[in-house]
Amino acid sequence: MVKTTISLLKADIGSSPGHVTVYEPLMVRAEELMEKAKDENVILDFVVFNAGDDTELLLSHNKGVDNEAIHKLAWDTFMTLGKEAREIGLYGAGQDLLKDAFTGNIKGMGPGCAEFEFEERPAEPLLVFAMDKTEPGAFNYPIFQMFANPFNTAGLIIDPKLHEGFTFSVMDVYKNKFVDLSCPEQMYDLLALIGAPGKYVVKYVDSKTPDLGRAAAISTDKLSLIAGKYIGKDDPVAVIRSQSGFPAVGEIVEAFTLGHLVSGWMRGSHRGPLMPVSLEYSQCVRFDGPPRVVGLGFQLKNGIFIGGVDLFDDPSFDSTRARVNEITEYIRRHGPFEPGRLPLSEMEYTTLPNVLQKLEDKFHD
């Protein structure tokens, strides 16, 4: 049976005003370019959307992961959009496009990517999430909730297909190494790692029930580690399969109802609560935030995205949003003090070291 590949690729190609949101005409431009790629049979289907100042290309195809044609399509699209953003005068035009020439794979070039392939079930619910003003590890908490915490996901207890548990593939983003941990048996080991989301990031989740396969993929690309300095935050994305052996749609979105604290707000240097929002509010304004997550849900059939739903466009998330606003008030009162601001160890790739350098020879005994 032919497998379907889902590739979610993203880049900040420029925004308006400042780092608030993607400029609407450039999203239309991205759609035109994807329509052309669909006509030329490079992709089966696509959805273009934004998470704050990041342009997101959700693509389906049969070409497998790390496919050169798909990655080149995304790279060329981001380059075209970046060039047009520069001409229009958008802010930070092309900021995530760190290399000049495409070399076969978009990884390590600046844009983020989450992708995996699977055999479509007769009915295949698929959810995608995209965050702005935060880092890849911001997905650790909700992914753990969805796939390992029975207080979030009732199916882990009740449904024999979920009861076996899931395997988490965790990446050390500094060493570029992976460790696979099986839950529930290795849950404490898993938490020992992913509780430090700046270093350990969940990359994949796989079902332990035979034949179900991969459940989720998350982007782990760290701009600062590619460029060696602060460029912008990494603003991660995730692709997640749902139902019939995977967490239900409602169990997946439930994982975002805490408004958990994440790193990367304002100048990539602050902590803040993550607010789940509809696409209408996918724009980061207050103190360039607060950090946000948007979610879209589809039925996937032969690679076609059917019946798209804006998952957080629902009053049942109002109480989370109200709590996020309350925490925002509180945490912002800390101004430049930790833990509102990130600890020094995490400020290494920001602009702060330049300021501290000037003081270095002024210290006396």
Where along the sequence are the contacts to ligand F6R (CB under 6 A)? 18-19, 92, 133, 232-233, 266-268, 288
Out of 132, 233, 235, 349, pick the active-site residue.
233
CB of 51 to Mg ion, least distance (A): 7
CB of 207 to ligand F6R, least distance (A): 34
Which residues, in sequence order, are CB contacts of 47 under 8 Å at separation 6+?
58, 296, 298, 305, 308
Widest distance between CA atoms in the chain: 73
Which of Mg ion, ligand F6R, none does residue 15 bind (CB under 5 to 8 Å by kind)?
Answer: Mg ion
User: What number of CA atoms fall less than 13 Å from residue 58's CA on the CB side?
Assistant: 23
Which of ligand F6R, Mg ion, none does residue 268 bind (CB under 5 to 8 Å by kind)?
Answer: ligand F6R
Helix 24-39 vs helix 68-88: crossing angle, to nearest 10: 150
Closer to ligand F6R at the Cβ: 115 or 288?
Answer: 288
Out of 23, 200, 230, 349, pick the active-site residue.
230
Closer to ligand F6R at the Cβ: 81 or 216?
Answer: 81
CB of 202 to ligand F6R, least distance (A): 22
Query: Is residue 213 packed enough to be buried (19+ CB in 10 Å), middle (13-18) or exposed (0-12)?
Result: middle
Tokens of 74: 């995304």
Closer to ligand F6R at the Cβ: 69 or 344?
Answer: 344
Closer to Mg ion at the Cβ: 215 or 293?
Answer: 293
Residue nearest to ligand F6R (CB): 288
Among candidates 56, 24, 268, 207, which has minimal Cα distance to 46?
Answer: 56
Q: Note if 159 is an active site residue.
A: no
- Alpha carbon 156 to its chain centroid, in Å, reads 24
CB of 302 to ligand F6R, least distance (A): 37
Among candidates 128, 93, 86, 152, which has minimal Cα distance to 236?
Answer: 128
Which residues, in sequence order, are CB contacts of 266 under 8 Å at separation 6+?
133, 287, 288, 289
Which of ligand F6R, Mg ion, none does residue 18 bind (CB under 5 to 8 Å by kind)?
Answer: ligand F6R
Three state DSSP letters for 77-132: HHHHHHHHHHHHCCECCCCCCCCCCCCCCCCCCCCEEEEEEECCCCCEEEEEEEEE
- Site residues for Mg ion, 51-110, by CB under 5 A, read 53-54, 92
- Radius of gyration in angstroms for the set of CA atoms belonging to the chain, rounded to a whole number: 20
Q: Note the residue count of the chain.
A: 365
Which of Mg ion, ligand F6R, none does residue 164 bind (CB under 5 to 8 Å by kind)?
Answer: none
- Site residues for Mg ion, 221-250, by CB under 5 A, read 235
- Site residues for Mg ion, 18-37, by CB under 5 A, read 19
Which residues, in sequence order, are CB contacts of 356 under 8 Å at separation 6+?
none
Q: Note if 12 is an active site residue.
A: yes
Closer to ligand F6R at the Cβ: 290 or 303?
Answer: 290
Closer to Mg ion at the Cβ: 125 or 272?
Answer: 272
Cβ atoms of 203 and 255 within 8 Å: the answer is: no
Would you give the binding string for Mg ion spanning residues 126-145, x where CB under 5 A is met? ------x-------------
Which of ligand F6R, Mg ion, none does residue 54 bind (CB under 5 to 8 Å by kind)?
Answer: Mg ion
Q: Note if 3 is an active site residue.
A: no
Which residues, in sequence order, are CB contacts of 330 under 8 Å at separation 6+?
none
Which of ligand F6R, Mg ion, none does residue 234 bind (CB under 5 to 8 Å by kind)?
Answer: none
Out of 10, 12, 63, 133, pick the active-site residue.
12
Distances (CA, A) of 94 to 76, 109, 142: 12, 12, 30
Size of the residue set binding Mg ion (CB under 5 A) = 8
Which of ligand F6R, Mg ion, none does residue 266 bind (CB under 5 to 8 Å by kind)?
Answer: ligand F6R
H-state helical runs in 11-102: 24-39, 68-88
Closer to ligand F6R at the Cβ: 45 or 235?
Answer: 235
Catalytic residue numbers, as ranges: 12, 230, 233
Binding site for Mg ion (CB under 5 A): 12, 15, 19, 53-54, 92, 132, 235
